């Protein structure tokens, strides 16, 4: 590419050979001469993802494939793509998802119109043949916002509860300021510290009513469906969030929200523990007890307000105490 690209699209790929034709076709239908496409093949071993990429991307201009020596996980794969990206703006697409025709151009138009640090969008969740629109949990649309203003309140769903990196576009100046990169090695919940960092440290953002990302949910090979030890990375992820909050000028108020996030995820995993391998389930319960035990009764009382009896009951069984905590 002769000139600096306007947009870099980072596409991590791992064991998704059968989905790649639709993914790459959607990028062909979004291609422009000033867009580049960076595929990071994370050393697939169970299928021919790499070979499929080599064949399919021949018809996608300005595309490049990088193959990892060893599997590093989603966070590391995204970082590889970020390090290679030359665009003024960056966005992400998981290798088993796809985009509506012309979506990337609309995304670029939105961030250029407002000169925002980043833009967040809605997305379409695809489960089998069913499709459902999921809206970003911020009602203020198409106006420049302070990212911090979308973190609270504690007991409602906010933008830090909507961490999907692929639901948006990001100005390169964030990378120059030490943002945008993920914590290497995180295999699940890699986007939790990332979204908290963006909303705490970026200066401006916009929420756009764009519905061009199609996210496949419930795939058999997805990490969200596999009950092995990689699922437990969410404990490290939230430890990172809480650690980074400690130096924030609003640490007290924001910590309460982060603990709420943490409790919601712990309760979800405990309620779904039957899918875990036995040893992983035992470790899940132990780590949950340690994490909840590090929270005071006062912090827990605030964190679980309105979470519902089922979630609070499972947390109470693991931690003990919480007698004054009501659903």
Residue 24 and residue 209: Cα distance in Å, rounded? 24
CA–CA dist 142, 113 (Å, integer): 10
CB count, 10 Å around CB of 208? 24
Predicted TM-score of the model (pTM)? 0.94
Q: How confident is residue 1, by pLDDT bands cut at 50, 70 and 90?
A: low
Confidence band of 320 (pLDDT split at 50, 70, 90): confident
Instruction: Tell me if 173 sits within 8 A of 115, measured CB to CB.
Output: no
pLDDT score of 205 more than 80:
yes
Residue reference for tokens 């306007």: 6
Per-residue pLDDT tens digits for 109-141: 999 999 999 999 999 999 999 999 999 999 999
User: What are the tens digits of pLDDT across the range 161-198?
Assistant: 999 999 999 999 999 999 999 999 999 999 999 999 99
Question: Is there a contact between 302 and 154 (Cβ–Cβ < 8 Å)?
Answer: yes
pLDDT tens-digit profile of 79-92?
999 999 999 999 99
How many whole angstroms from its chain centre is CA 126?
Answer: 16
Structure tokens at 146: 């302070």
Supply 229's token pair: 């030890």
For 249-264, what is the mean pLDDT? Answer: 96
Tokens, residue 160: 């830090």
Beta strands in 43-92 (DSSP E): 63-67, 89-92
Assess contact for 90 and 181: CB atoms under 8 A. no
DSSP character at residue 74: H
Residue indicated by tokens 């990429």 = 53
- Rounded to 5°, the CA angle 11-17-19 comes to 70
The answer to whether the CB of 285 falls within 8 A of the CB of 270 is yes
Smallest CA-to-CA distance from 110 within 4, 181, 3, 204 is with 204
| Residue 306 contacts residue 324 (beta carbons within 8 Å) | no
- The confidence score (pLDDT) of residue 244 equals 97
The yes-or-no verdict on residue 256 having pLDDT over 80 is: yes
The confidence score (pLDDT) of residue 220 equals 56
Report, as an integer, the average pLDDT of 103-110. 98
Q: Is the pLDDT of residue 222 over 80?
A: no
DSSP bridge pairs for 64: 38
Strand order in the sheet with 168-171: 63-67, 35-41, 7-13, 89-92, 168-171, 118-121, 205-208
């Amino acid at each position: 590419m002769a000139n600096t690209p306007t947009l870099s699209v980072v596409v991590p790929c791992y064991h998704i050979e059968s989905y790649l034709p639709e993914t790459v076709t959607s990028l062909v239908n979004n291609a422009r001469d000033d867009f580049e496409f960076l595929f990071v093949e994370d050393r697939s071993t169970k299928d021919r993802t790499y070979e499929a990429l080599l064949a399919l991307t021949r018809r996608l201009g300005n595309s490049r494939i990088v193959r990892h020596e060893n599997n590093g996980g989603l966070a590391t794969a995204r970082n590889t793509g970020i390090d290679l990206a030359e665009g003024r703006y960056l966005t992400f697409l998981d290798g088993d998802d796809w985009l509506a025709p012309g979506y990337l151009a609309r995304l670029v138009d939105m961030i250029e119109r407002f000169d925002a640090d980043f833009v967040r969008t809605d997305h379409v969740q695809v489960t089998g043949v069913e499709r459902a629109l999921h809206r970003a949990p911020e009602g203020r649309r198409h106006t420049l916002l302070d990212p911090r203003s979308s973190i609270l309140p504690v007991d409602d769903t906010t933008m830090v509860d909507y961490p999907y990196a692929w639901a948006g576009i990001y100005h390169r100046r964030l990378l120059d300021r030490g943002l945008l990169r993920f914590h290497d090695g995180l295999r699940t919940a890699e986007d939790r510290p990332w979204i908290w960092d963006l909303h705490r440290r970026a200066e401006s953002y916009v929420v756009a009513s764009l519905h061009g990302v199609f996210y496949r949910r419930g795939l058999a090979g997805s990490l969200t469906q596999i009950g092995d030890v990689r699922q437990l990375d969410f404990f490290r992820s939230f430890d990172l969030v809480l650690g980074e909050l400690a130096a924030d000028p609003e640490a007290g108020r924001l910590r309460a929200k982060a603990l709420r996030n943490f409790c919601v995820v712990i309760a979800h995993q405990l309620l779904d523990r039957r899918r875990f391998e036995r040893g992983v389930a035992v470790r899940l319960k132990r780590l949950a007890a340690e994490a909840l035990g590090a929270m005071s009764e006062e912090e827990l009382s605030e964190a679980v307000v309105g979470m519902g009896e089922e979630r609070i009951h499972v947390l109470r069984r693991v931690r003990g105490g919480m007698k004054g905590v009501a659903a």
